Structure 1
Amino acid sequence: MTTRAVEEKERVCVTGAGGYVASWLVKFLLLKGYMVHGTVRDPSDEKNAHLKKLENASENLQLFKTDLLDYEGSVPNPEARFQVDLIEPAVVGTRNVLDACLKAKAKKVVVVSSTAAVGLNPNWPKNQVMDENCWSDKEACKATEGFNSKDYRGSSVSYFTTPTDHHSRVLKTEALEYAEKGELDIVTVCPSIVIGPMLQPTINASSLLLLALLTDGHKTVEGTDRPLVDVRDVAEALLLVYEKPEAKGRYICTSYQIKMQALAHKLKSMFPNYSYSKSFTEDDYEANLSSERLQKLGWKYRPLEEILRDAVVNYEEKGILHKA
């Protein structure tokens, strides 16, 4: 990955800049000398205060009030928004971001999706590794409910969030239409469940996975095989595909596949005094995702023990967990 001189001040945009993955992306961009324009709903909100404390933020970070459902960036009537269908804003938001990229003549768009756009394919051969050629089935996405990390979408480098697997598939289709027309240079990264330390003050959805294992000793947990990846490794993957001219198409971003019971045992061996889940359901599902294509581009990921240690220590420092 090339290091860019601070004086070049190459400008990138990160939408939803105060989010979990976005905050780490902003941090790494600032450390590499980029001029970062971050879009948030309210720059003065305390939820975004952590961004202003990042290294180089005072010189190279500007936050802008923006609503992705409005191309001009104004905020729609909250009551009207409440009544809008879930899929429509996802599609409209995607188009607005990509239209803005076209207007700004963005040199590259990084779309941050999720493995929800990959792994829900009942027709994929059972024992075949799921690679970038695998696409989730639209009907399966509509029918599936349950835990999944929030999906992310992006642009130059910028992205926004949506909450469902079906959104992930729909929004990916929107981005592909632009790519196929040759209007934008679009690269897509599909992270699995994202864990690791948080920069933002509020708890994000995927962090609840570890917190549940650490604190829900009286509850039964699904014993599902989960594909995991560290939030910092995701942010570094986004930088990698942005900076590598040869990066094209779609990249799965996942590091480990582990049963929840095995993950609980590993956490307990490192932090023995928390109230761990003791009961796990049986589940024969096995995640079968490959990040080989991303690794060939130069991506590396952290050891699982480092990810878990840094996450738990981070939760303790934030007061989410109390040291035993």
Structure 2
Amino acid sequence: MAESRRVCVTGAGGYVASWLVKLLLSKGFIVHGTVRDPDDPKNTHLRKLDNAENLHLFKADLLDYESLSAAIAGCEGVFHVACPVPVQDFADPEVEMIPPAVDGTLNVLKACSKGVRRIVLVSSLAAVGWNLSWPLDKVVDEDCWSDKEFCKNAGFWYAFSKTVSEEKAVDYSKSNGLDLVTLCPSLVIGPLLQPTINASIEQFIEFLKGNRISLMAHDVLFLVDVRDVADALLLVYEKSEAGGRYICHSYSMKMTDFCDKLKNLYPNFPYPNCTNEEKPLRLISSEKLMRLGWKQIPLEDSIQDTVQDFLNKNILNVN
């Protein structure tokens, strides 16, 4: 009997990665998951997944090439999901965020030089949309790249790091004959598998508690469900015709509309005051991904599943 297919997922204990690991195990893959500490209680949820006997956790650091190489050895594919996303601001983002994102990505790619069929890199819509020269009336697609200088000057360090690391990854892969596909998700919502709160979910929780959040400054939300992101990652890995970058985005809506939808579903939360400055709603296309067969969970289902998960875990209280 042939051995099951073997892949590696970096940052396996994270929000998106946990759902990806769950999906891969359900499809019969053997999964090598990299984490900073396999014995850390925040990774125990991974050992409770169905088919967890096929999950092998490796202690690894993005800046430690040898540890990454050991985790990737024997794998036919690699999903590079790990990336520092701050819940709070870094004291020195150029030191604390950029090296793990850029140098860590290059270390992963270098470790893929032997035997890896395809690498899927999780980038971000933040590496796509911050481009002031892109016409407002033109649909944003995979040809649009964020302006690095604008991101750096504006202090958008996450967008800057994602843009730089994706560009470096594309250049390195082309120079070294690697099959790299990148996925650029928008703001990710959906139920949690991991016990810790990640950055995008932290924003959602604070909003439901009645606190103004940084996302409100942009007046528009671009959303995708975490389970749809996991599906997209496996899809672009499996489809032989997949190539280049893919925007992974489901729903665009004004902050006021999002607030109204939540109030209709959950009227007892103390929502912050939402005002609409009538900024144009930029159109973002996931058509390229949808042509591969990608489908999305309805927005209302995604919101309800997310909030219900918060309530079930006592992360939120409606009283």
1:89 aligns with 2:61: no
Q: TM-score, normalised by structure 1?
A: 0.85
Structure-2 separation of matches of 1:219 and 1:108: 38
Show the counterpart of 2:190: 196
1:142 partner amino acid: K
Which secondary structure does the structure 2 equivalent of 1:12 belong to? Answer: strand
Kindly provide the amino acid, as one letter, of the partner of residue 163 in structure 2. Answer: R
Please name the residue that 1:214 is paired with. 208
In 2, Cα distance between equivalents of 1:238 and 1:125: 29
Q: Per the alignment, do residues 117 and 200 of structure 1 end up closer, same or farther by CA in structure 2, a change over 3 Å counting?
A: same
Say yes or no: does 1:137 pair with 2:147.
yes
The answer to whether residue 86 in structure 2 is matched with residue 72 in structure 1 is no
2:42 alignment counterpart: 47
Q: Is the 8 A contact 2:59 2:67 kept in 1?
A: yes
User: How big is the shift at 1:39?
Assistant: 0.3
What is the distance in 1 between the residues matched to 2:270 and 2:291?
Answer: 40
Give the whole-Å Cα distance in 2 for the aligned partners of 1:54 and 1:219.
33
The match for 1:231 is: 226
Residues 173 and 51 of structure 1: is their aligned pair in 2 closer, same or farther, counting only changes over 3 Å? same
The answer on whether the counterparts of 2:255 and 2:276 sit within 8 Å (CA) in structure 1 is no
**Counterparts of residues 85-164 of structure 1 (less than 5 Å):** 86-103=97-114, 105-145=115-155, 164=158
Is 1:270 the counterpart of 2:274? The answer is no
Q: C-alpha separation between the residues in 1 aligned to 2:300 and 2:25?
A: 27
Give the corresponding residue for 1:290. Answer: 285
Contact 1:223–1:259 under 8 Å retained in 2: no
Displacement of 1:207? 1.0
Q: Report the CA distance between 1:173 and its aligned residue.
A: 1.3
The residue aligned with 1:242 is 237
How far does the alpha carbon of each residue in 1:50-79 deviate from its partner, in whole angstroms, 9 at most, with x for none? 00000000x2001010011011129xxxxx
| SS at structure 2 position matched to 1:168 | helix
Structure 2, unaligned stretches of length 5 or more? 69-91
C-alpha distance in 1 between matches for 2:278 and 2:47 = 44
**1:282 to partner: Cα distance:** 2.5
Unaligned runs of 5+ in 1: 1-5, 75-80, 147-162
User: What is the aligned counterpart of 1:316 among 305, 311, 314?
Assistant: 311
Which residue is equivalent to 2:17?
A: 22
Whether the 8 Å contact between 2:203 and 2:213 is mirrored in structure 1 is no
Moved more, 211-220 or 182-191: 211-220
Equivalent residues of 1:213, 1:276 under 8 A apart = yes
1:141 maps to amino acid: C
1:241-288 CA deviation, whole Å, 9 max, x = no partner?
001111111100000001111111111111111111224363615232
What residue number does 1:173 align with?
167
Aligned partners of 2:289, 2:276: CA distance in 1, in Å? 33
Q: So what's the TM-score if we normalise by structure 2?
A: 0.87
Q: Pick closer, same or farther for the CA change 1:91–1:218 going to 2, 3 Å.
A: closer
1:303 alignment partner, one of 291, 298, 309:
298
Q: Offset of 1:82 from its aligned partner?
A: 10
Aligned amino acid, residue 254 of structure 1: H
The one-letter code matched in structure 1 to 2:293 is G
SS at match of 1:189: strand
Q: CA deviation at 1:86?
A: 3.9
Higher mean C-alpha displacement, 300-309 vs 258-267: 258-267
How far is 1:89 from its partner? 3.4
Alignment RMSD, CA only?
Answer: 2.3
Which residue does 1:63 correspond to in 2?
57
Question: Identity over aligned residues, as a percent?
Answer: 54
1:135 is displaced (CA, Å) by 1.1
Asked if the contact 2:151/2:160 (under 8 Å) is kept, the reply is yes
| C-alpha distance 217-69 of structure 1, shift in aligned 2 (>3 A) | closer
How far does residue 187 in structure 1 lie from its aligned partner after superposition?
Answer: 0.6
Partners of 2:258 and 2:314 in 1: CA distance: 22
CA drift of 1:47 comes to 0.5
- Distance in 2 separating the partners of 1:82 and 1:137: 18
CA 1:7–1:56 in 2, change beyond 3 Å: closer, same or farther? farther
Task: Give secondary structure in 2 for the equivalent of 1:320.
Answer: coil
Number of residues of Structure 1 aligned to a counterpart in Structure 2: 295
